[in-house]
Amino acid sequence: MKYINPVISGFYPDPSICKAEGKYYLVCSSFQFFPGVPLYESDDLVNWTQIGHVLTRKSQLPLEGAGSWGGIYAPTIRYNNGRFYMVTTNVTNGGNFYVYTDDIHGEWSEPVYVQQGGIDPSLYFENGKAYFMSNGEDDEGNHGVTQCEIDIETGKKLTPSKTIWTGAGGRFLESPHLYKIKGEYYLMAAEGGTEYGHMIVYAKGKTPYGPFENYPHNPVLTNRNLGGYEIQGCGHGDLVEDENGNFWCVHLAFRMINMWVMHHITGREVY
């Protein structure tokens, strides 16, 4: 496969991806802008077409008081049993919630709120269970990647929120996603902050609750400390498996004006 980065250029931060019925679908953060959460479709992971937005009604996206640091943070898109789910945080109004649809080209549901704090929520489905995770504080006050099981129809918590991983040692642990690959569970996240120290790290465990062991060569993806690289800030990624069993990672990064000029004007893009 040949591709040129970024695969989606411009202001499209915090990408998340899933595969369904032979196609790939991707969402990004939208912050204080309406409509919210741009939605893309692709046949090949390289050529992407925007097919709309996920949050298109005021009832889905209240933005009162949302300045440039408010609104929608870090969505995750997942597909399970014929239904698409998009989970995110409205940091200004309401907190963590998800919406769903059975028609990716149609309207999405009203928000279903989950009573777990933090930001950057994600969903993982297995054996009829829905696992909800975010980065923040669990029910006992412990900080890290926090997880509970929920009733996917109502958003009600079925188990207490529990911290399952505290990261690989970097600052600003965020963007957690859980995957099962060849019988083991991989917990991937970002650290270092969404700027020049950004990186992707992961850990591996035997159950959805771990215990998780850090990959000894973390970070697994970063451009930190690489002077002269115009592409910087690599992090906040999500994995998808293609039709041939290969795994791909979409992640954010930004392009500096020049390899030695540390400013960027196009925002965080999809790589």
pLDDT in tens, 169-206: 999 999 999 999 999 999 999 999 999 999 999 999 99
Contact (CB, 8 A) for 137 and 118: yes
The answer to the question of residue 98 being in a domain is yes
Q: Examine the residue annotation and report whether 213 is marked as an active-site residue of this protein.
A: no
**Tens digits of residue pLDDT in 38-72:** 999 999 999 999 999 999 999 999 999 999 899 99
Of all residues in the chain, what percent are helix, strand and coil, respectively (each to 5)?
A: 0, 50, 50
Residues 6+ apart with CB under 8 A from 206: 184, 185
The answer to the question of residue 32 being in a domain is yes
| Chain centre distance of CA 115 | 19
Contact (CB, 8 A) for 222 and 198: yes
Q: Which long-range contacts (CB under 8 A, 24 or more apart) does 134-143 make?
A: 134/89, 134/96, 134/176, 135/173, 135/174, 135/175, 135/176, 135/189, 137/163, 138/162, 138/163
Decide if pLDDT at 1 tops 80.
no
**Tens digits of residue pLDDT in 137-177:** 999 999 999 999 999 999 999 999 999 999 999 999 999 99
Question: The domain containing residue 253 runs over which residues?
Answer: 16-270
Contact (CB, 8 A) for 161 and 139: yes
Q: Which of 14, 149, 238, 269 is catalytic?
A: 14
The answer to the question of residue 5 being in a domain is no
Q: Which pLDDT does position 40 carry in this prediction? A: 98
CA angle 141, 131, 233 (to 5 degrees): 75
Output the DSSP codes for 6-18: -SB-SS--S-EEE
The answer to the question of residue 223 being in a domain is yes
Decide if pLDDT at 2 tops 90.
no
User: For residue 226, what pLDDT band results from cuts at 50, 70 and 90?
Assistant: confident
Q: Quick one: what percent of the chain has pLDDT higher than 90?
A: 92
The answer to the question of residue 157 being in a domain is yes
Span 18-30, average pLDDT: 97
The domain tally of the chain equals 1
**Tens digits of residue pLDDT in 235-267:** 999 999 999 999 999 999 999 998 888 888 899
pTM above 0.95, yes or no: yes
**Tens digits of residue pLDDT in 64-76:** 999 989 999 999 9
Q: What is the CATH number of the domain that holds 135?
A: 2.115.10.20
Which amino acid is residue 79, in one-letter code? Y
Q: Examine the residue annotation and report whether 103 is marked as an active-site residue of this protein.
A: no
The answer to the question of residue 184 being in a domain is yes
The answer to the question of residue 11 being in a domain is no
The answer to the question of residue 242 being in a domain is yes
Q: Which of 120, 174, 238, 269 is catalytic?
A: 174
